[in-house]
Amino acid sequence: MPQERSAERRRQFKTTVDGIPVKRVYSPSDATSVDSSLPGEYPFTRHIMLAGFRGKLWTMRQYAGFAMVEETNRRYKYLYRQGTTGFSVAFHLPTHEGYDSDHPLSKGEVGKCGVAVDSLQDMEHLWDGIPLAEVSTSMTINATAAIPLAMYIAAAEKQGADRGKLKGTVQNDILK
């Protein structure tokens, strides 16, 4: 029985879903072109950094966002004291949709999931005590992504951070 399944798997993977033939084993002689670029050089086929992840490990961010900015800030400070250098903001649904927490369409959503960031002051409180020039931040949000990004940059500049030192990603996910 195991041999039959193994033979079936070999038959299944003779082509890709696009019909491109696939060998069971590839050798250097199968390479049709040689990419002579080095890691860290365009077209970045070998890696985006010269030393790859040997020089700097990838960022592992902690995803957090509680109803209140103060609660989330306490969590971020705790994580930062434990050595976390990356954060991923869990915004609440009204923030995703571009509504303030006190908007009538936000009723029933505030406090359920994620942090409410309605203003620049909220963003400043969210990151109070976390040096934004030293951490990496991810914000996955809907089409309103430019607004929290602008507030994040303003909060970082208020901390005295150089814009060029900020690290992270903003995902403008309209299908979220």
- Taking alpha carbons only, the member of 92, 88, 96, 85 closest to residue 68 is 92
- Give the contacts of 87 (CB within 8 A, at least 6 positions apart): 61, 62, 64, 76, 79, 130, 135, 136, 137, 138
Give percent of the chain above pLDDT 90: 36
Q: What is the pTM (predicted TM-score) of this model?
A: 0.69
Tens digits of per-residue pLDDT, 13-45?
688 888 888 888 877 777 766 667 788 888 887
Tens digits of per-residue pLDDT, 112-141?
888 999 999 999 999 999 999 999 999 988
Contact 116, 95 (CB under 8 A): yes
Sign of CA dihedral 152, 155, 156, 162: positive
Residue 9 has pLDDT above 80, yes or no: no
Longest CA–CA separation in the chain, Å: 67
Mean pLDDT of 79-93: 90
Contact 49, 59 (CB under 8 A): no
The pLDDT mean for the chain works out to 84
